[in-house]
Structure formats: C-alpha cells, structure tokens
A and B are shown apart, each in its own frame.
Chain A
Amino acid sequence: MSLLAPSSPHAHRPLSTSHVMAQVSLATLPALGVLTWLFGWGSLINVMLAVTTAIFAEALILKLRKRPWRILMDNSALLTGLLLGLSITPLAPWWLPVLGAAVAVVVAKQVYGGLGQNPFNPAMVAYALLLVSFPLPMSLWPQPLSLQAEPWTFWEHLTHTFTGSLHAIDGYTGATLLDAFKHKGALTAEEFWLQTPVAQAVLNATTGVSLAYLLGGVYLLWRGIISWHTPVAVLASLLILAAFFYGADPSQYASPSMHLLVGAGIFSAFFIATDPVTSATSHKGKLVYGAGIGILVYVIRTWGNYPDAFAFAVLLMNFAVPFIDYYTRPRTYGHARAQRGIK
C-alpha cells in the first residue's frame, strides 16, 4: 500500500475563484434588471456584447500565450465584460462595448500577465479610455422610459446599436443628472430642480438602479465575498465631504443623497472598488484606499471637468495601492507594533 502524501492542510473550503467571480456576477443581475426595466434594452445589449468580446479576447490571448483553457473557466473575463457593459450608456453603438471589453481584457489584464497580475482595474481602464476617446457617445444617456413616448422594442434597440440608423430624437436623450447639475450655471440648486422638469424622474430612476446595486452589494457582504471596509470607506468619505459642503452652501452644492444615489456611487463602491486584484490588501489599507476613492470622486465631480469620476478615482488609487500596502501592514501577533514601509 502506498498512498499519495500531500502536505497539510488536507482540508479545503469548497470555494473557488470561479465561484467568487460567479457570485459577484450574480450580484449584478438585480441592477441589470432594473436598468433594463427603467432605461430600456440598451444595457442588456451592452452586457451581451461586452461579455462575448471579453471571453473571446481572453480565449484568443490564452491561445497565444499557450495557457490551459481552464483559465477561461475562472469567470473573470465574464465579470469584466459584465461590469463594463453595465457602466456604459444604454445608447452606446456596438463598437463601444466591444472595443472597451477587448481593451479591458487584452491591454489592462492579459498584457500584465493575466488574472491577478494587473495593477489597474480592467473595466475602469477600458471605461476611462472610452470616456477620454469618445466623450460624446459615452455621455449620451437616454431618458428613463417613463419619459419616453414610444420606447424602443428590443429589435429597434438592437438596430440602433448596430446601425445607428434610428436616430434617437432629442426627447429620448439627455445629459446625466450630475452633468446637468454641474452645468446649471448661475442657478441655485433649488432653481435647478424647478427648472429641469425631468430631473425628478431621472433622480427616481437612478435611485432605483443604485438601490439594486446596493442589494447586490449586501448579498456579497453576506456571502463573505467582499469585506465591508472598501465600500463603507468609499461611501462614507464621499458622504462626509458632500455633507460638509452641502452644509456650508446648500444652494450651490449637491446634497449627500444626490451624490450617493445619482451616478456610479454605489455601483463603484461595491463592485469596482472591491476588485481584489487592484485594491489594497489589509483591512486598514482597504479603508485608506476606499477613502481615497471617495475623496477623489467628490473632488472631480464638484470641481473637475467630468460629471462623474469613478473610473479616474479608482485608477488613481490603483496607483497608490503598493504604497498603501507598505504602510498599512497589520501588527503581527507577538510584535509590539506594525512594521511600516519596506527596508
């Protein structure tokens, strides 16, 4: 009798990377549903295009790199495509999600060596690239379906996506609420809400989407897939800053609830900033990392050029991750104090 003699530990928790990725993907589904319900088929089409492209690009690179196919089963390409598809405007032409997903997988992930090696969040790299390169189609959001007289059918939307022949008439589109608020000019906040009749409807719709993301985030917390540190730090820092400035001048600055519910706040806090590969390691580090994102988002939203800033904030904090990691190491058992930096 001779048995295999692997070393300890012999027991293993039945949890795999692909399972983690699948859980995160699953947690986005409520929001995808709400997006489709409130803004039409665009998001679903985006997600399908981005996911297909991402998986195809991953497969291509794996073949080029002569890596085993089982890597494709880790669901990471699926998740990247999904997150990108969700963050792009429902009115996007087909090449936006396709180009974005290809860039995310090939340039932002596989070029660095694949899963676990990329310093920057792939979906956000792609999003930032698209936003900088194609600002117009990227910032054109549809009005909620409730404001549309004749919402597109799925086939109509598909035709629009691929041919662009069905020009979205003016009533269908508009800048995002954050964009509109930013460019309210001399209006006070109160006047803005009064003078922009659709604003309240848009606010309601985005709030619905945000709550759906929150639901998914809570699910991930419950399943222990993510820790609370990053999302709480992101949202808390954002809210604290918003509350401070809103408290100082409510007529000029957006309210904390608007910062929280409009735009990509909750989505990014639970699904983007928690990307394990590109975020800080320790709990303390995650708090610092999340707070950095929240602060940057507020700063860019309020005083910067872009209406929303999660992609840039996350990417900037990705840069800072090694630094954060060096200075937020936990105190090891039996040591008087935590070590900082690296000698």
Chain B
Amino acid sequence: MAKIWDFHGGIHPAEHKDLSLQVPLRQAPLPAYVVLPLQQHIGAPARPLVRVGDKVRTGQKIADRQAGISACVHASISGTVVAIEERPIAHPSQMQDMCIVIESDGQDTWVERAPLINWQSANAETLLAHIKGNGIVGLGGAGFPTLSKIQSGRAHQLDTLIINAAECEPYITADDTGIRHYPQELVTGIRILQRILQPQQTLIGIEDNKPDAIERLREATIGTNIEIRVVPTKYPSGGEKQLTYLLTGREVPSGGLPADVGVLCQNVGTLIAVARALVQGEPLVRRIVTLTGHALAAPANLEVRLGTPIDALLRVAQLDPQKLARLILGGPMMGFSLPNAQVPITKTSNCVIAGTLQEFPSAAPEMPCIRCGMCEQACPASLLPQQLYWFSKAKEFDKARLYNLFDCIECGACAYVCPSQIPLVQYYRFAKGEIRKEESEALKAERARQRFEFKQERQAREQAEKAARRQGKTASAVQMEPSVQKAAAPASTETLDLKKLKIQLAAKSVAAKKAQQALTQAQEAGASAEELAELTKTFQNAQQEQAQAQSAIAQATETPTATQSPSPDVAELKKLKIQLAAKSVAAKKAQQALTQAQEAGASAEELAELTKTFQNAQQEQAQAQSAIAQATETPTSTQSQSPDVAELKKLKIQLAAKSVAAKKAQQALTQAQEAGASAEELAELTQVLQEAQQAQSQAQAALEQQQVPKTQHIQAPPKAADAHLKQLSVQIAVKKVAFRKAEQAWQQAHSSQQGDLDVLEAHMLNAQEALHKAQAELATYQAQQSSASNKQVTQDGDQHLLKKRKIAVSVAQAAVRSAQKRLDNLSEIKDTPSEQLAAQQARLASAQAQLAQAQDALAQAASTRTQEIS
C-alpha cells in the first residue's frame, strides 16, 4: 500500500451521493434546441464558423479556437443555426454571452467521424492535434483547455500523471458514474496521455467512498502500469493541490501549477472525452451530468448533449417546482446557485442540484466571530481564515495579502464549520476582488501617467509659445497707451459728455437688470435649456455693455485730473486702474452668471461655456493687474540705479499676477466640484488650474533665478558652476512646488471623489518623478563638481558630496522598491501577459542597476573621505 500524505484540515460534510446512484447512467432525450456558448472554457472565446440559417450536423465544428488558450465548439445536435446572439449563460451574475443556438431536426445526423486509427503508434504531436481539434477541455469544473494544460505540462519536467477521480464534493457522482460505465475508455484515455507525456508513474486518486468504481478500475487496469491510490474520504481531497499532496507528498508552490513539481492532473471525464475523440472520432458534444437534490423525484446521472437547457433536464428528472428552493450548478461546497433554469449545460457543468428548503435552509444571521479556530482546523491550505476574515472585513487588504489570501482556494470548508455562520468565502472573494481592482487601477494610473507625460510636454511647449506671444503683446500695448491717452484727453474736457455717458450707463444698467429678471423668471417657470441659454446670453451682453459704459465714465472722470497731473505715467496708471476695475466687474459678473447657471442646473455645455467666459474675464483681469503693476513699478525703476532691481520687481509682479490667476482657477474648480459638475468639466478646470500653477511656478523660478545671480554678484565672485548649481536648486524648488500642488489637487479630488483621479494621480506621480530626477541631477552634478575640484575640496565639501550620494542612493532605492512592488502586483494577477511581466522585470532590473551604481558612487565617496581623513 502506497503512502498517502494526509493534508491539513478538511471536512466531512454529509455526502448525499447515493441519491443519484439509484439508477444506472442513461442518455438524456435529444433537446429541441441547444444553446452553445462560444466560451465554455478558460481563455479566449471561440470564433463562429457558421451563420444563421446554416444546416449543421452533430459533431460539426461550428466555432474555431483562437490562438493561445482557447478551444473549439462543435454542434451537439443536427439541425439549423437559428441564432448567434447573446443568451443568458450559467453564471452567478446572470451574465449573458455569445451563443450559437441550434434548432434540432430530430435526426441527430452525424458528420463523418475521423478517428485516429492507430493512436498507439501515433506521435505526440498527432495526438495533441486531435485533442485540439475535438475541443477537449477539463471537465472537472474549471474548463482549462486540455491541449494547453498538456503543453504547459510538457514544458516542465513531468514525472507523474494523476487522474483525479476523488470527486470529493457531496452530491456529485458524475465521475463515479463515468468510471463505472466507461472504465475501458478511461484507461484508453490514460494511455493516450501516457503516450504524450511519458510519465514515470500514473496514479489514479479516488476516495474510498466509491467501492464499485474502485473495483471497476482494478479490473480495467490489470496489466497496465496505472496505480490506483485510494484516499480517505475528506473534502476537498479532489482539489488539484490537495490531491497532488495526497498522492505524492509534493506541495504545489504558491501561485504555481502542479507541473512545477512534476505533476499533471487530469479529470476522469476529460480522459473519457479524449479517448472518444481519438478512438471514435467523436468531438466533445456530450458529458455526464448528475441531476440530484430532493426536489427531484427521479434523480439520476444523464449523458447530456452540451447546450441542453437545464430546465429540460429538470423535467426529465421530474422536478417538483413546489419543493425547489435552491438550484445549484456544481457541488454544494463550490458550485454557484442559479437564479433560474433557462441556461444551457456547458462543458464544465458536472452537476445540477435541485435542493429543497430543508436541504439548503436560508443562511442564518451572521454572529460575531468568537475566534474559535474551527476554520483554521478545517482549512486545507493551512491559512488562518479568521484573521483573513478580520482583515477583509476591515478592508486591510495589505494584511490579508500578507496572510496569504491568494492561497485560498475558496473551498468553503471554513464557512462550513463556522459556528457563527459567517459567510467567510464571500469576505475573501470581496477582498480578492478589491485587491484585483486596486491593481488594475494602479496599472491604469501607470498608463495614464505615460499619457500625461506626453500631454504635459505638449502643454509646456504651447505655454512657452503663448508666453512669448503675450510678452510681445504687452510690449506693444505699452507703446500704444500714450496715443490713446491723447485721443481721449480733448473729448473728456466737456462735462456734458460725462453726463451723457452716465445716462447711457443708467440705461444699460436697467437693461441688464431686466435681462436678469427675465432670466430668473424663465428659470422659475422651468423654461427649456435653449431658452435659458439665450436669455443668459442676453443678460451677459447687457452686463458687458454696462461694464463698458462704466469704464467709459470712469475714463471721462479721470482724464481731467490726469491732465492736471505732472507725470504722464500717473495718468496712465489711473487708466490702467480703471481698466482693471472694469475687468474685475466683468469677471465678477461672469462668475455670478456661472453660479446662477449652476444653481439652475444648466447643461454641461452651457456651464463649460460660462466657465470659459469667466476664465477669460479673470485672465484679462490678471493681465490688467500686471499691467498696472508694471506701470507703478516703471517710475520707481527709473529712479533705481540698477536695472536688475527693476527686472526683479517686474518678475515679482508677474508672479503676483500668476498667483492670483492660479487662486482664481482653484476657486473655480472648487465651485465646480461643489456644484457637482461633470467629470469632463472638472478635468478641464483642473487643467486650467494646473496651467495656472505651472505658470506661477515658472514665474517663481524666473524670479528666484533673477534673485540668485544678484546675491551672487554681491557675495561671491561669479562662478559659472555655482550658477548652474543654483539653477538646479531652483529647478528642484519649482518641481517641489509643482509636486505639492499636484498632490493637493489629487487629495482634493480624492476626498471629494470627483474629477479624473487617474489623471491627477498620474500628474502627481509625474511631478514626484520629475522632482526626484531633478534631485538626482543635482546630486550627480555636485558629484561631478566635487570630483573635478577634488584636490581643493575641504572635508565639509566631501561630507556634502557624501550626503548627496546618499540621497541618490535612497532615490534609487525608492525606485527599486516601487518597481518591485509593481512587479509583485503584476505577478499576483494570474493572467498578466508575460510580456508585461517581462517588461516590468526589465524595469526592475534597470532600477536595481541604477541603485548599484549609486551605491558604488556612495562607497567611493565614503572611501575617499576616509582616506582624506586618515
């Protein structure tokens, strides 16, 4: 007797297997129609080869496999394709999927079968081609395409082939029945696989609760090198990982496959299907399904054509609808419940349980966990289910992962034994789902970051162009001012004119007020969006005119005093101030209009338009402000000796203006958020804000640059290197500001749950990276500097260098850590494409290389220092 390695945990639920074993296996009646989903397996869905209206014969390939992991689908009855459309499939979420619907002609005419006459002498490739061509997938439950499984197994050093006949789930007897009715086919299937894989040993793992099947297997395997290993009945001994351990004592590594320890597992049903495909030329068109449960008067095992609707089978098994309380596809431990029976049997459907309320009472209310540890004693993966439960419940997903959440096979043993009736598996599914979501979001953010980098580059370019243009404009405007002044001066001498203007203003004010009233009334009356938009426009026009009139009056009043003033500068200043006032009024009005529109619930487009108007007004206002500031500064600057000071002032003014613009943009954004504006609008506003902030930080940088050389002139002899150093420091400062701003923006958006978080986050990350880059640049530059002037460097300088190197190292370390984390995240996801993994690995490697370099540099610096000291 070969050794059986007992696995930790496991449970002994009531078996109920005899329910469906009362009568022998029989063929289910041919259904009137079948619904064949294009995806009955793990991997890519098959591509239809037929069209609606086509006549098909049983066994005809109607959908072909795609490249990679996929499987083809064959017609399970003869008849006419009546639809290729989305139909509800057997899925817990009542999901729909593409299906080919065939209406039976009642004949069951087969295509010409193409068996492999001499499979005993055929080579592995031929055998695999037949497995591939007949659409064989794992019939145990997961539906992994058999071809792919064997191929991935062949890539490893396989020495053991395990036939999974454990069938540990209660109720299910499909494999048991398969063994008892088709032992020869099973053995043929095993020998075909032996031929392909050439394993050193072939083991059949079967639970000791199937004595008949064991006896049949004994008879059928006489004279073969197939060993039968009877394992004690314990759920979940049929789990691939558990059975592997039971029979070989080898543990499948976490996140790995049995092939990693030289084992390949195949299900009984799969092997029978393989034998039929190769020896009889029958593609996978039928399977054994257990129909059981106490709501059925005639539970049985039926050989069912794929695509047969479950309700047709339930009629065969004489369902009593009055008794039916729960319909389960699969076993009671890991199967899922179906909301209704109008879904088809697929390649993976091994059991349908029509349970009564007595069999499956509704879940008792969840009681608090008393940490009794029964779940831990039941867990076949040696996890700590109760700790996972606490972590999942508290959404501490990091800790849940640390406690190996992803090694949970969701067998349900913990929830089965829990005296507090806690649906533990649901908590784990939730946690896993959340973690996967987080990961995919991180991936998305990464992509968004890359997109954003391009966008930012482009924006920076545009900004620079814009700034250049704007500078040109202000310069010309300053030149133009005096001429305007002269033209206005003579006209303004007459008070009559002023009166006229005032009257005009009054008229305009009245018009504006009326327009506003009309707008309000329309809003209250619930006018259509178009009407409102029109009225709003009228109102805005009126306001604009009013503002113009106001500014005209202001000009008129100011000019006389301006003529009296000795300096033309002062007059100009006044004029600018008037302009500013007008612009401020316009901006305020625009803001009001925007707020009103928001309150009135105007459409997104309107809001966007109004926002734009508002922003323009603000910009103009800011421009006016800066113009004033310039004007104010110029006289003093003429008095000052140094042109530098003047420039400095100018820059300061610019900075002030930009700050105002940024603040305004932020206000607009906040308002929009509060008003619940749409994501696009928010994104737009955010962009405006970011631009403004960028402009601000540029201005700041320029200012700092300006300040820096000045102090340099005074304090130290001009040194090109120093200047560059300062420039780098300034850059860092700018980047820091940018990063902080981005972070703030992201936090705001995050806390309000509005706006495009992805973009903002990407921007933040980007800013951070830029900052790090700048820091690294500084560090390298300083390193170069110090190495160039190594001889003169004092110990202090060396220390400085050392510090910089240390910073460089820690920056590199951070990069490595983040790369590692991303890689970990990626590798946790089962179906991450290998290229992506490889790319991430490469990234990690380069980060590690950088780290090594940085560490080298640090070590060098350290050694130089010690040498010097000694």
Contact = CB atoms under 8 A, between A and B. Distances in A.
Interface in B87-132: 92
A329 to B, nearest CB: 6
A227 B333 contact: no
A277 B370 contact: yes
Contacts of B326: 3-4, 6, 10
Interface in B1-36: 7-8, 11, 13-14
Interface string B200-215: 0000000000000000
B199 interface: no
Contacts of A146: none
B324 interface: yes
A334 B241 contact: yes
B370 A17 contact: yes
A343 B420 contact: no
Given A16-B364, A117-B368, A11 B340 contact: no
Given A334-B241, A343-B402, A1 B92 contact: no
A9 interface: yes
Contact of B254 (A8, A76, A332): A332
B356 to A, nearest CB: 12
Interface stretch (B423-431, B524-532, B813-821, B845-853): B423-431
B324 A329 contact: no
Interface in A205-225: none
A279 B425 CA distance: 24
Contacts of B425: 7-9
Interface string B237-279: 0000100010000011111100000000000000000000000
A3 B251 contact: no
Contact of A4 (B321, B353, B362, B377): B362
Interface stretch (B65-73, B410-418, B471-479, B655-663): B410-418
Given A3-B340, A7-B426, A332-B407, A281 B420 contact: no
Contacts of B341: 1
Nearest to B256: A334
Contacts of A330: 8, 376, 382-384
A10 B337 contact: yes
Contact of B382 (A1, A74, A115, A333): A333
Given A282-B384, A333-B381, A276 B373 contact: yes
A171 to B, nearest CB: 45
Contact of A8 (B256, B333, B362): B333
A117 B324 CA distance: 39
B380 A1 contact: no
Given A4-B337, A281-B384, A330-B376, A9 B369 contact: no
B13 A13 contact: yes
A116 interface: yes
A22 B410 CA distance: 30
Contacts of B327: 3
A119 B7 CA distance: 32
A333 to B, nearest CB: 4
Interface in B353-394: 353, 355, 360, 362-365, 367-373, 376-377, 380-384, 386-387
Contact of B332 (A3, A11, A227, A325): A11
A7 B13 contact: no
Interface string A10-23: 11110111011000
A227 B403 contact: no
Interface in A1-51: 1-13, 15-17, 19-20
A339 B417 CA distance: 25
Contact of A10 (B332, B339, B381, B399): B332
Contact of A13 (B328, B363, B416): B416
A277 B390 CA distance: 13
A3 B337 contact: yes
B194 interface: no
A167 interface: no
Contacts of B429: 7
11 contacts: A4-B339, A7-B336, A16-B419, A283-B377, A286-B373, A332-B254, A332-B383, A333-B380, A334-B241, A334-B254, A335-B404
Given A4-B339, A12-B415, A281-B387, 11 more contacts: A6-B363, A7-B423, A9-B413, A281-B376, A325-B387, A329-B384, A332-B383, A333-B380, A334-B252, A335-B254, A339-B402
Interface of B: 7-8, 11, 13-14, 92, 170, 241, 245, 251-256, 321, 324-328, 330, 332-341, 353, 355, 360, 362-365, 367-373, 376-377, 380-384, 386-387, 399, 402-404, 407, 410-413, 415-417, 419-421, 423, 425-426, 429
